[in-house]
């Protein structure tokens, strides 16, 4: 019979040979509620992983601190196996180093652990470093450090995942539909993948507590930092994205995709990210209804289009994507939308009270609304667009199409710079129109009111 929590014991792992197999032996002898102490030093020999003990056996494994107690698998195997299940285990105060494999292996998901249905594990003050899941078929490999299946749970508190890699998706972590992942004061740094340099969430519940999640220095072809494709977000914390790179596609910092992505996140802060495609800081597509009450703050990012943020593939859903706590500052687009780019399919989206300043683009240095052959009717309410620079266009630019009606009630575009003096603040191509302009300049005239419908090129 397992001992009750009040009878929990502290078991110390023998240091002979500093073998991970010694840890396994102590874990297998432990009773429910016991604490397994792993002393300072580098522990090796991952010939067998540490496994769960099944339902009813909850253990805590604790080291002497990150960088002091080191479990090094030398890329020969994964360190943890959720067969049997981990039943609310906690692992704390240690470093997991080089767990996983860089060659084709039987296990293709989770360099440190594949969290299977029914397993629950929390990492507190844990560093995962230089872990990998890689092979010749990129689509097969997921989660350089961790992969979480449906009905599995993993929490990261005061932890870091760094320098990890997969040839597929999620350089640090991947999660499937039905999975549960929590971050609180956790950093993912310098990880890489084909998609989602730090993380890919294909579904499930992603919780960001007040301590937040920092993603920095990560790289992928698509979504340099985080790729969200169907997850529900919850929590009051901030996702901070710094210096991540999407090398060939969209979303330098984060890519928010599919209409199954929803929920609430405290704030998103994107700084110094870049994308070869659209959305240097943030790519937001498919009308994903994600509430960000603390705002989206995007600064110093670069992209082909939408240096700060790119809206794409929307739906005819009235939804406030950016609120008055949002601002786009000091971003750069090579072509269109230094601060904000609204694509041909981002219909009926709303921005309300956003400040757009000191951005640069060839046209639409502050905001560019594309149209193509689509019926694009975004709403830009109560915005301030100023001090942006466009060498050939304007700060607020609308592409050429008769169906492009953009409601700008309460918005002001003034004090912008560029070589095209006639359109430096507003540049409407062809028959595209603004509805309800307030405080916008064109050809030396100040326009104000609440019910004007204007065709700038006919003036």
Beta-carbon count within 10 A of 217 CB: 21
- Classify burial at 210, counting beta carbons within 10 Å of its beta carbon; exposed 0-12, middle 13-18, buried 19 or more: exposed
Per the structure block, which two tokens stand in for 430?
């062809």
3-state secondary structure of 28: helix
The pLDDT score that the predictor gives to residue 347 is 63
DSSP label at residue 7: G
Peptide bond before residue 153 is cis, with ω within 30 degrees of 0: no
Question: For the whole prediction, is pTM greater than 0.85?
Answer: yes
User: What dihedral angle (degrees, nearest 10) is formed by the CA atoms of 282, 287, 292, 298?
Assistant: 20
Q: Is residue 431 part of a domain?
A: yes
**Sequence-distant (≥ 6) Cβ neighbours of residue 322 within 8 angstroms:** 292, 295, 296, 309, 351, 352, 354
Give how far the C-alpha of residue 370 lies from the chain's centroid of Cα atoms, to the nearest Å.
Answer: 25
The pLDDT score that the predictor gives to residue 423 is 79
What is the tally of structural domains in the chain?
1
- Per-position DSSP letters for 122-140, written without gaps between them: EEEEEEEES-EE--S-GGG
**Sequence-distant (≥ 6) Cβ neighbours of residue 106 within 8 angstroms:** none
Q: Is residue 253 part of a domain?
A: yes
Calpha distance 349→454 (Å, rounded): 21
369 contacts 342 by C-beta, under 8 angstroms:
yes
174 contacts 141 by C-beta, under 8 angstroms:
no
Q: Is residue 92 part of a domain?
A: no
Beta-carbon count within 10 A of 190 CB: 22
Q: Is residue 129 part of a domain?
A: no
224 contacts 249 by C-beta, under 8 angstroms:
no
The pLDDT score that the predictor gives to residue 313 is 74
Give how far the C-alpha of residue 32 lies from the chain's centroid of Cα atoms, to the nearest Å.
Answer: 37
Chunked mean pLDDT (size 10), the chain, 459 residues = 63 98 98 98 97 97 99 96 96 98 84 96 99 86 97 99 97 98 99 98 98 99 97 98 99 94 97 99 89 97 98 71 96 98 77 97 94 67 96 89 75 89 79 63 34 32
DSSP label at residue 4: P
Calpha distance 308→88 (Å, rounded): 40
Q: Is residue 156 part of a domain?
A: yes
For 339, the domain range is 107-120+148-458
The pLDDT score that the predictor gives to residue 399 is 82
Q: Is residue 39 part of a domain?
A: no
223 contacts 199 by C-beta, under 8 angstroms:
no
Q: Is residue 217 part of a domain?
A: yes
The pLDDT score that the predictor gives to residue 427 is 84
User: What dihedral angle (degrees, nearest 10) is formed by the CA atoms of 251, 252, 253, 259?
Assistant: 10
Q: Is residue 56 part of a domain?
A: no
Which has the closest alpha carbon to 206: 240, 187, 229?
229
Calpha distance 107→100 (Å, rounded): 9
- Per-position DSSP letters for 194-263, written without gaps between them: EE-SSEEESSSEEEE-TT-EEEES-EEEE-SSEEEESPEEESS-EEEEES-EESSSS-SSEEEESTT-EE
User: What dihedral angle (degrees, nearest 10) is formed by the CA atoms of 212, 216, 220, 225?
Assistant: 20
**Sequence-distant (≥ 6) Cβ neighbours of residue 416 within 8 angstroms:** 365, 366, 385, 386, 387, 388, 389, 390, 394, 395, 424, 425
């Amino acid at each position: 019979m397992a001992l009750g929590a009040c009878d929990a014991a502290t078991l110390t792992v023998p240091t002979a040979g500093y073998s991970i197999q010694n840890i396994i032996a102590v874990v297998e002898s432990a009773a429910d509620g016991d604490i397994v102490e792993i002393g300072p030093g580098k522990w090796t020999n991952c010939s067998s992983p540490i496994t769960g003990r099944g339902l009813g056996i909850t253990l805590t494994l604790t080291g002497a601190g990150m960088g002091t107690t080191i479990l090094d698998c030398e890329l020969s195997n994964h360190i943890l196996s959720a067969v049997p299940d981990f039943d609310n285990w906690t692992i704390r105060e240690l470093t997991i180093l080089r767990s996983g494999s860089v060659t084709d292996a039987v296990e293709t998901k989770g360099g440190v652990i594949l969290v299977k249905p029914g397993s629950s594990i929390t990492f507190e003050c844990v560093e995962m470093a230089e872990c990998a899941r890689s092979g010749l078929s990129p689509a097969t490999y997921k989660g350089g450090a961790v992969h979480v299946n449906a009905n599995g749970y993993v929490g990261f508190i005061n932890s870091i995942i760094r320098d990890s890699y997969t040839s597929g998706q999620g350089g640090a972590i991947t999660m499937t539909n039905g999975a549960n992942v929590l971050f609180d004061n956790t950093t993912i740094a310098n990880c890489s993948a084909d998609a989602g340099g730090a993380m890919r969430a294909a579904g499930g519940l992603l919780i960001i507590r007040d301590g937040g999640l920092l993603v920095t220095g990560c790289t992928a072809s698509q979504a340099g930092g985080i790729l969200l494709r169907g997850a529900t977000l919850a929590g009051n914390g901030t996702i901070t994205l710094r210096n991540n790179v999407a090398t060939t596609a969209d979303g330098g910092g984060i890519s928010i995709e599919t209409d199954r992505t929803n929920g609430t996140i405290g704030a998103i802060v994107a700084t110094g990210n870049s994308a070869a495609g659209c959305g240097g800081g943030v790519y937001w597509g498919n009308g994903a209804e994600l509430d960000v009450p603390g705002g989206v703050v995007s600064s110093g990012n670069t992209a082909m289009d939408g240096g700060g943020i790119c809206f794409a593939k929307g739906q005819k859903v009235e939804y406030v994507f950016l609120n008055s706590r949002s601002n786009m500052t000091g971003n750069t687009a090579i072509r269109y939308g230094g601060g904000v780019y609204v694509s041909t399919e981002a219909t009926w989206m709303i921005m309300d009270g956003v400040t757009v300043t000191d951005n640069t683009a060839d046209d639409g240095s502050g905001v560019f609304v594309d149209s193509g052959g689509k019926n694009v009717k975004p709403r830009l309410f109560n915005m301030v667009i100023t001090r942006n620079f466009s060498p050939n266009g304007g700060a607020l630019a609308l592409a050429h199409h008769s169906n492009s009606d953009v409601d700008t009630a309460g918005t002001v575009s003034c004090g912008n710079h560029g070589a095209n003096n006639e359109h430096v603040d507003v540049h409407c191509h062809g028959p595209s129109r603004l509805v309800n302009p307030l405080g916008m300049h064109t050809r030396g005239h100040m326009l104000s009111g609440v019910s004007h419908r204007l065709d700038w090129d006919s003036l």
